[in-house]
Amino acid sequence: MKLMLKILAFFIPVMVALFYFLGQPSDTDTNSTATSGKLVRLAKLPSPINESSGVEFIPERKAYITHNDAGNKPHLYVVDQQGKLVETIKLKLPNVDWEDLARDSEGNIYIADTGNNNNKRKELAIYKLQLDKPDQIEAIRFTYEDQKDFPPSKKDMNYDVEAIFWQGGRLYLVSKDRGRKQTAKVYELPDSGGQYKARLLGSHKLGVPVTGAASSADGSTVALVSEGGLHIFRNVSNPGAFYEGDYQKVSIKEAGQTEAVAFENESTLVITSEDGGLFRYSLN
């Protein structure tokens, strides 16, 4: 028995030490890739981008596109993952108030000229184009079916949209509530050129003004961004009622005034902030 106790007394500290050292993460485990629940800053956006308001990931280029907010040049900027400006795409369009980007399954890009701070605009548009054919542009022009006054009363100022996403041949618009700052309304539009009334599908009391939106390729996850907040809806079965999915709120205050979000893949988001931050967030 004494011999057994001596053997155990020797081996137990050895096993504890091995467990400790083998369990430590290597240098490659702690690199700059996003880890679950952690926001990683990738880069600062280059100087032409002074008010990033929308973002999309372009998988064939392994790069991002973004644009500036109202009153800036009507340019799309292609940026690599190190924040280097790769290309500037100059468009023959007005930038009244560009607010977000979306991308469909065929690679078409949608530019949301839907900013409407004072809720007075009657000529709203989403522009559809291919990045390699920037002169061929379809205009999706619309008004909201439920807006009767331009502007409405102060408490009903909920016709500003800074967030759109594409899914299944339709565009979905999420409002930024400037009245009560609580309710996000969801509208639907076709994804081809024409003049339309955006159809109101429903609303959700999110509690914060929405500044960007994105849908995963399979439509099962929708992400919204607000200033310093990420709002994730999983197990989505209907894109027009994504808010019925399983909801998770994530604080990303360290990113500053977050303005845009996109899916890099099914489990990774890319986020930009108005002051030029480029971030990645893992959903796993």
Give one DSSP letter per residue of the chain, joined into a string.
Answer: -HHHHHHHHHHHHHHHHHHHHHTSPPGGGGSSS--BT-EEEEEEPPTT-SSEEEEEEETTTTEEEEEE-TTS-SEEEEE-TTS-EEEEEE-SS--S-EEEEEE-TT--EEEEE---TTS--S-EEEEEEETTEEEEEEEEEEEETT--SSS--GGG---EEEEEEEETTEEEEEEE-SSSS-EEEEEEEESSSEEEEEEEEEEEE-SS---EEEE-TTSS-EEEEETTEEEEEES-S-GGGGGGSEEEEEE-GGG-SEEEEEEEETTEEEEEETTSEEEEEE--
> What is the arrangement of strands in the sheet containing 52-58, beginning at the earlier edge strand?
52-58, 63-68, 75-79, 85-90
- For the cut 50, the answer to whether the pLDDT of residue 12 exceeds it is no
Percent of the chain with pLDDT strictly greater than 90? 85
Is domain 34-282 given the CATH code 3.40.190.10 in the classification?
no
User: What average pLDDT does range 153-159 have in this prediction?
Assistant: 97
Task: Give dist(CA 48, CA 280) in Å, integer.
Answer: 21
pTM of the full predicted structure?
Answer: 0.87
Task: Give dist(CA 86, CA 65) in Å, integer.
Answer: 10
Digit-coded pLDDT (tens) for 31-41: 334 445 789 99
What would the two tokens of residue 29 be?
Answer: 């485990």
Half-sphere exposure of residue 183: CA atoms within 13 angstroms, side-chain side? 12
Cβ–Cβ contacts within 10 Å for residue 210, how many? 24
List CB contacts of 221: < 8 A, sequence separation 6 or more.
215, 232, 233, 234, 236, 245, 263, 266, 283
Digit-coded pLDDT (tens) for 85-135: 999 999 999 999 999 999 999 999 999 999 999 999 999 999 999 999 999
Domain ranges of the chain: 34-282
Digit-coded pLDDT (tens) for 243-263: 999 999 999 999 999 999 999
